[in-house]
Structure 1
Amino acid sequence: MPIPAPNLYPPFNIVRLSHVELIVTDLAKSRAFYVDMLGLQVTDEDSEAIYLRAMEERGHHCIVLRKGTEPRARDLGFKLFDDDDLDKAEAFFRAKGLPVDWVDRPFQSRSFRTRDPHGTPLEFYVKMDRLPPIHQQYALYRGVKPLRIDHFNCFSPNVDESVAFYNEIGFRVTEYTEDEESGHLWAAWTHRKGGVHDMAFTNGTGPRLHHTAFWVPTPLNIIDLLDLMSTTGWVDNIERGPGRHGISNAFFLYIRDPDGHRIEIYCSDYQTVDPDLEPIKWDLKDPQRQTLWGAPAPKSWFEEGSLFEGQEPVPAQLKAQPIIAP
């Protein structure tokens, strides 16, 4: 199935991905992982939730850890350009027959929740409380020195349908994997902010959140994190990497938080600002698509993901499987 032509004039203007809320079962353990080990900065916390930001971010939070009885992923947050875009987005989702619920969110202006056609929970807003810059307060840099949230990757039961929907609202495909036998998409990387992706889709039982990624300065920061994890009781939380992806050319590491939510630590992809940039096609059977070099991905990486709150996943329609790199 061909990649749709970029929609350069979408019905509303999404600036970038913004934040995610994760349900965790033990706030103290999660705080130890995200703050003491990864190095994210606490911007607010109480007995029910912790709000965090990375070092280059001026918005109040990029991740919310909320106490609950079962691990779940909640809304994937996106920032819109202005209030007119927020109203246009509401009209768009209502016209599609998708739910729109206006919600009060701490530290945010008008916000609404909705879902994409597969049930992935989304949140849209325009303004978030601005905080003073801390990117030059080098005494605060700890752990892997996370600079900013970079992207989400979600399991989709039908990647063709996911790409078509997100293309309609202005996400542009940068790279994709096609199953040559069926002609269908097995995975796709789409962006709004000018990197390789804000939102990626991987074929699998879904919708589920595969991972949330954070951008770091250099591959050496990832090596430092591995040394730290291996000597502070977190070595079993290392799932995959380090290595380099063929897709995106990024240097990567995948780790799991205390509840199993997957986090990617990520650097070294490339700029995709030009509106006429052609997507890069990968064959599903190319062993370097997933891992240009490095150890092969474990079975857990292809099968496990975070359930979205209030959404039952369904099996993937495409049964094709990739070759795992030797």
Structure 2
Amino acid sequence: MPIPSPTLYPPFNVIRLSHVEFGVTNLAASRAFYVDTLGLQVTDENDEAIYLRALEERGHHCLILRKASSSLIKALSFKVFDDAQLDLAETWFRDRGHAVDWVERPYQGRTLATVDCFGTPIEFYFKMDRLAPIHQKYALYHGVKPLRIDHFNCFSPDVDKAVAFYGELGFRVTEYTEDEESGRLWAAWTHRKGGVHDMAFTNGTGPRLHHTAFWVPTPLNIIDLLDLMATTGYVANIERGPGRHGISNAFFLYILDPDGHRIEIYCSDYQTVDPDLEPIRWDLKDPQRQTLWGAPAPRSWFENGSVFEGVEPYASGLKASPIIAP
């Protein structure tokens, strides 16, 4: 199926992904992982939640860890261009039959909660509390030295449908994987902020969150993190990598937090700011699409994901498969 033409003047202006809220079963264990090991900075915490930001970020948080009875995802959140965009978004979603609600969120202004075409909980806001810059406070740099949140990747039961839906909101496709036999999309990478992706979609049982990615300064920071995890009790949390993706050209590492939420550590992709940039097509069976060096991903990478609170995932009708490591 051909990639739809980009919507250059969407009904409301999303500028980037913003943050995600994880339900975690043990706040202390999660804090040790995200703060002491990865190096995210605590901006607030209590007995129920921990708010975190990365080192280049001025907004109050990019990740919320909230105590829960099971591992889950509360919502994916996006920042819009100005406050008026929120009313435009409410109208757009309501007119298409999506549930909409104005919700109170700590450290944020007006926040619109709704769902996407699969029922994935998503939220939009304009104003978040600003904090003093810390990007030159080098004493704070430790762990993998995370600079900013980079993207979400979601398991999707219908990637063509996901691309069409988010495409209406102005998300432009940068790269995609096509199943040659059916002509359907198996995966796609879409963006708003001018990188390779803010939102990616991978064929599979969904909707589920496949991973959340954080940008780091260099590939050497990833090597340092591997040494740290391997000697501090986290060797079993290393799932895949290090390596270089064919798609996006980025250097990567996939790890699992104590609740099984997948995190990608990520750097070295490319800019995509031109609105007429042509998407790059990959064949599903190309061994270099996953890893430029040819190494396939493990089966867990294609099967395991984090569920969204109150959303029942369902299987994809597309049974095509890439190369999977034995």
Q: Tell me the TM-score normalized by structure 2.
A: 0.99
3-state SS of 1:164 partner: helix
1:323 corresponds to: 323
Q: Which amino acid aligns with 1:162?
A: A
3-state SS of 1:176 partner: strand
3-state SS of 1:249 partner: coil
Q: Which amino acid aligns with 1:276?
A: D
1:20 aligns with 2:20: yes
3-state SS of 2:134 partner: coil
1:289 corresponds to: 289
Q: CA RMSD in A?
A: 0.9
CA positional deviation for 1:101:
1.2
1:40 corresponds to: 40
Contact persistence 2:104–2:110 (CA under 8 A): yes
CA positional deviation for 1:296:
2.6
CA positional deviation for 1:301:
0.3
Q: Deviations over 1:298-326 (max 9, x none)?
A: 11000000000000000001110012379
Separation in structure 1 between the aligned mates of residue 78 and residue 294 of structure 2, nearest angstrom: 32
CA positional deviation for 1:295:
4.0
1:200 aligns with 2:206: no
Q: How does 1:75-86 map to 2 (within 5 A)?
A: 75-86=75-86
Separation in structure 1 between the aligned mates of residue 8 and residue 209 of structure 2, nearest angstrom: 27
Q: Deviations over 1:236-287 (max 9, x none)?
A: 1000000010000000000000000000000000000000000000000111
CA positional deviation for 1:294:
6.2
2:142 corresponds to: 142
1:308 aligns with 2:312: no
1:106 corresponds to: 106
Q: Tell me the TM-score normalized by structure 1.
A: 0.99
Separation in structure 1 between the aligned mates of residue 300 and residue 182 of structure 2, nearest angstrom: 25
Q: Which amino acid aligns with 2:317?
A: Q
Contact persistence 1:174–1:279 (CA under 8 A): yes
Contact persistence 2:287–2:295 (CA under 8 A): no
CA positional deviation for 1:52:
0.0
1:216 corresponds to: 216
Separation in structure 1 between the aligned mates of residue 165 and residue 286 of structure 2, nearest angstrom: 27
2:274 corresponds to: 274
1:183 corresponds to: 183
1:133 corresponds to: 133
Q: Which amino acid aligns with 1:21?
A: E
Contact persistence 1:177–1:283 (CA under 8 A): yes
3-state SS of 2:223 partner: helix
Separation in structure 2 between the aligned mates of residue 262 and residue 146 of structure 1, nearest angstrom: 15
Q: Which amino acid aligns with 1:174?
A: T
Q: Deviations over 1:141-184 (max 9, x none)?
A: 01000000000000000000000000000000000000010000
Question: CA 1:67–1:294 in structure 2 vs 1: closer, same or farther (change >3 Å)?
Answer: farther
Runs of 4+ in 1 over 3 A off after TM superposition: none
Contact persistence 1:179–1:186 (CA under 8 A): yes
Q: Deviations over 1:116-152 (max 9, x none)?
A: 0111110100000000000000000010000000000
Separation in structure 1 between the aligned mates of residue 159 and residue 264 of structure 2, nearest angstrom: 21
Contact persistence 1:23–1:66 (CA under 8 A): yes
1:159 corresponds to: 159
Query: Which 5+ residue runs of structure 2 have no aligned equivalent?
Result: none
CA positional deviation for 1:74:
1.3
Query: Which 5+ residue runs of structure 1 have no aligned equivalent?
Result: none
Q: Which amino acid aligns with 2:22?
A: L
2:299 corresponds to: 299
Separation in structure 2 between the aligned mates of residue 226 and residue 300 of structure 1, nearest angstrom: 19
Contact persistence 2:287–2:296 (CA under 8 A): no
Q: How does 1:48-67 map to 2 (within 5 A)?
A: 48-67=48-67
Contact persistence 1:189–1:196 (CA under 8 A): yes
1:74 corresponds to: 74
Separation in structure 2 between the aligned mates of residue 294 and residue 73 of structure 1, nearest angstrom: 32
Query: How many residues are treated as equivalent by the alignment?
Result: 326
Contact persistence 1:241–1:295 (CA under 8 A): no
3-state SS of 2:248 partner: helix
Question: CA 1:298–1:325 in structure 2 vs 1: closer, same or farther (change >3 Å)?
Answer: closer
3-state SS of 1:165 partner: helix
Separation in structure 1 between the aligned mates of residue 295 and residue 203 of structure 2, nearest angstrom: 21
Separation in structure 2 between the aligned mates of residue 60 and residue 194 of structure 1, nearest angstrom: 22
